């Protein structure tokens, strides 16, 4: 009986010690979530702020701060492509892009979810972003 009691006391002492070593210090913050959006995103856009997005729309975010935008098709080989740049401020992504086929300059702003797998926002002509809605998923 004494040996069982001794074993139990040692086991409890080990668990007690381990419980303190497994705890994090108070005030220690977790690592911030990744803010990378690099990659190919597909989604839809609308032609106004009241309609649900139904037109094909995709973005290729590159690691160097540039973006290629495709609309009307998800086929990246067609002439509906634009080139531009993007910036990230927290969970907000802003883009400015110009169509390669002589089209105009456009901008977009979107809020990215915490997993960096979904974004939604608005787009517009030149530097305004109040013409239509869009969403993209990675």
Domain for residue 14, yes or no?
Answer: no
Domains identified in the chain, total number:
1
**Global confidence as pTM:** 0.71
**CATH assignment at residue 77:** 2.40.160.90
Long-range contacts: 50-53, Cβ < 8 Å, 24+?
A: 51/132, 51/133, 52/133, 53/132, 53/133, 53/134, 53/135
Domain for residue 23, yes or no?
Answer: no
The boundaries of the domain holding residue 94 are 39-137
Mention every residue, 6+ apart, whose C-beta is less than 8 A from residue 90: 35
pLDDT-derived band at 84, boundaries 50, 70, 90: very high
Measured distance CA(18)–CA(43) in Å, rounded: 49
Q: What is the pLDDT of residues 97-110, one digit of tens each?
A: 998 877 889 999 99
Measured distance CA(136)–CA(40) in Å, rounded: 9
Domain for residue 10, yes or no?
Answer: no
Confirm if 83 and 96 have CB atoms less than 8 A apart.
Answer: no
Confirm if 51 and 131 have CB atoms less than 8 A apart.
Answer: no
pLDDT at 102: 79
């Amino acid at each position: 009986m004494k040996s069982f009691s001794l074993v139990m006391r040692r086991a409890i002492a080990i668990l007690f010690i381990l419980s303190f070593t497994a705890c994090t210090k108070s005030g220690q913050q977790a690592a911030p979530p990744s803010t990378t959006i690099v990659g190919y995103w597909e989604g839809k856009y609308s032609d106004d702020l009241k309609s649900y997005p139904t037109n094909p729309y995709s973005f290729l975010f590159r690691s160097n701060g540039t973006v290629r935008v495709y609309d009307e098709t998800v086929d990246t080989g067609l002439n509906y492509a634009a080139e531009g740049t993007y910036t990230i401020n927290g969970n907000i992504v802003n883009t400015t892009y110009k169509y390669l086929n002589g089209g105009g300059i456009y901008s977009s702003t979107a809020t990215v979810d915490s997993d960096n797998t979904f974004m939604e926002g608005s787009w517009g002509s030149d530097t305004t972003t109040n013409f239509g809605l869009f969403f993209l998923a990675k």
